[in-house]
Amino acid sequence: MRLLFIGDVVGRAGRKAVVEALPVLRQRYDLDFVVVNGENAAGGFGITEAITQEILDAGADAITLGNHAFDQKDTLVFIERQPRLIRPLNFPKGTPGKGAGLFKARNDADVLVMNAMGRVYMIELDCPFRAIDAELNACPLKEGADAIFIDFHAEATSEKQALGVFVDGRATGVVGTHTHAPTADERVLPKGTAYQSDTGMTGDYNSVLGMDTEEPVHRFLARIPRQRFEPATGPATVCGLAIEVDDKTGLAVQVGALRLGGCLSQLEPAFWAA
């Protein structure tokens, strides 16, 4: 199986890049399953129903979220009727939506997608480790699902690495999001789980975390806000992680970073080269 994850889509520039890239990438790499983090897709804060549908129509099989999951208030309503939109599973009981979903890949495999949020330097939620562990026990790899993918939306690299160790051998991949900067530590962990501390954002990198630079710089200098953050509008880089999955075990065989467009150095997974 060929699985692709695309990191935090930020604003209009990120949406445009991912919507244009997904159909091409699905055909070029003969992708079986695509997950996109869309929690910054609506002006940098949350996601709307129209944007959700736009990303799904472009070729995403599931969309994950994070700490901005409900910044757009209508998400509280439409997430209940959109099963392919996954919010962090360690939100309190009763939060609309769900934190995990089982989906059919194009090769007919069953893929379990999970989204969880870290607690270090983040809002206090239920323990992500215990929440993920419960899901893995309820739907084990190669018993309940042919592949299991976890988007861990967290600030601290140590927390992300610890989760990688915690699920190694029980999940196909665990990939970090939230910091909007791609890390160079993508690899297959000793027991077969694909890992990267942060996939990076899909947005304009001539920015501050995808936002136009003026207001963030002002806040660091003055320590008070002057206006709202606005997403940068320059050419975006699509950042992602490619995972080659062993169909027999559901574990990762190879991983490779993806960076297309914008101002970052360009990179495609060599093992999927034509």
Q: H-helix or E-strand containing 136?
A: helix 128-138
Which strands, in side-by-side order, build the sheet including 85-86?
85-86, 62-64, 33-37, 2-6, 238-245, 252-260
Average pLDDT over residues 238-259: 97
Q: In which band, very low, low, confident or very high, does the pLDDT at 124 lie, cut at 50, 70 and 90?
A: confident
Average pLDDT over residues 74-95: 96
Q: In which band, very low, low, confident or very high, does the pLDDT at 272 lie, cut at 50, 70 and 90?
A: confident
Catalytic annotation present for 68? yes
Each residue's pLDDT tens digit, 22-65: 999 999 999 999 999 999 999 999 999 999 999 999 999 999 99
Per-domain residue ranges of the chain: 2-272
Distances (CA, A) of 259 to 205, 236, 241: 12, 10, 9
SS3 68: coil
Q: Is residue 274 a contact partner of residue 28, using CB atoms and an 8 Å limit?
A: yes
Closest CA to 22 of 271, 261, 232: 261
274 pLDDT above the threshold of 60 = no
The pTM assigned to this predicted structure is 0.95
State the Cα–Cα distance between residues 162 and 123, nearest whole angstrom: 19
Q: Please state whether beta strands 187-188 and 194-196 pair in parallel, antiparallel, or not at all (unpaired).
A: antiparallel
Q: How many CB atoms lie within 10 A of CB 35?
A: 27
Average pLDDT over residues 125-134: 96
Average pLDDT over residues 156-176: 98
Query: 2-272 has which CATH code?
Result: 3.60.21.10
Strand partners, 64: 37, 86
Q: In which band, very low, low, confident or very high, does the pLDDT at 70 lie, cut at 50, 70 and 90?
A: very high
The reported pLDDT for the residue numbered 145 is: 97
Tokens 């439409």 sit at which residue?
78
Q: Is residue 252 a contact partner of residue 192, using CB atoms and an 8 Å limit?
A: yes
Tokens of 203: 């947005």
Task: Name the catalytic one among 68, 153, 178, 180.
Answer: 68
State the Cα–Cα distance between residues 237 and 181, nearest whole angstrom: 11
State the Cα–Cα distance between residues 38 and 46, nearest whole angstrom: 7
Q: In which band, very low, low, confident or very high, does the pLDDT at 273 lie, cut at 50, 70 and 90?
A: confident
The reported pLDDT for the residue numbered 269 is: 93
Q: Cβ contacts of residue 89 below 8 Å, gap of 6+?
A: 98, 99, 100, 114, 115, 116, 128, 131, 132, 135
Q: Considering the chain, what percentage of its residues have pLDDT values greater than 90? A: 96
Strand partners, 47: none
